[in-house]
Amino acid sequence: MNEGFPILFLILAAVILGVIGVAFASLSQQQRSARLSSIAARWQGHVEPGDWFHFPQAVLRFGNTAARLQFFRQNKRSNTDLTIHFPDGQLRLEMYPQTIVHSVGKLLGLQDIEIGRSSFDDAFIIQGNNPVLIREYLSLDVQLAIHHLSTCTYFHNLHLTIGGGTLRVTKNGLLDGEADLLQFISAFERLFQALLEARATGIEYLPGNAPARIIDTQCRVCGDALAGKIVYCASCLTPHHLDCWNYFGSCSVYACGQKKYRHPRS
């Protein structure tokens, strides 16, 4: 009897630890679902509950288009993923951060579509089926949105794909905090809108005495709310943070290029 006691004790301990593990996993899923429900409500969406083997997901609405926020593990790595319908079903595009390995690969013939802006071309590998069309889509506004999306959370990375009528952005990392998720979703929505506008025909130039556009609530350079020291482009009157204007060196609106700004009237 004494010889069997250690085995019985180990079995009992394993059962207890298993029950505790399941309880903690269940509590974690409940907490994650609660956070997602709060976030989904901001985008008129809803949460699809998970189970022991799958994370809960959130369906969000950007205007009339539904987007899906999901979490998954692949090759022992956790990922956060947002997908949405993209109206151009013919476009195939893939983007990911450039590393030293990729730089060597380019010398050996790895496809990398150059956009013509060194800060962007040096940061990402760009591949796809139509370089001319891809350059049209990757306007300055889109480039700024991608940069912001890449760095807006603790995990400074992204993998962007467009194909089969779907836009997908994946972050390598589990964005579990509400603040990180809100930043990720907001940055993704900004990118989606910029892509939809990128190929609009013609560029509207505002006269020099036009009023400031009150629809601008975020700085086009950093993506943060317009607050503090704000200046306006002398040509199109687009507002910027003063620090962001100095960092960018000119107006951030595509094809404007004005280097002078105006201070707001007191």
The DSSP bridge partners found for residue 74 are 77
Name the helix (H) or strand (E) containing 148. helix 140-151
Predicted local confidence at residue 17, as pLDDT: 59
Cβ atoms within 10 Å, residue 151: 16
Low-confidence ranges of the chain (pLDDT < 50): 1, 19, 21-27, 201-215, 266
DSSP 150-190: HHSSSS---EEEEETTEEEEEEES---SHHHHHHHHHHHHH
The predicted-structure confidence for 223-247, as pLDDT tens digits, reads as follows 777 888 888 887 767 788 898 888 7
**What phi and psi, each to the nearest 5 degrees, are found at residue 189?**
-60, -40
The predicted-structure confidence for 13-25, as pLDDT tens digits, reads as follows 666 655 454 444 4
| Residue burial 57-69, b: 16+ Cβ < 10 Å; e: rest | bbbbebeeeebbb
Name the helix (H) or strand (E) containing 232. strand 230-233
**Dihedral (Cα; 251, 135, 190, 41), 10-degree rounding:** 180
> Where in the chain are the domains?
11-16+21-198, 203-266
The DSSP secondary-structure symbol of 204 reads: P
Cβ atoms within 10 Å, residue 191: 23
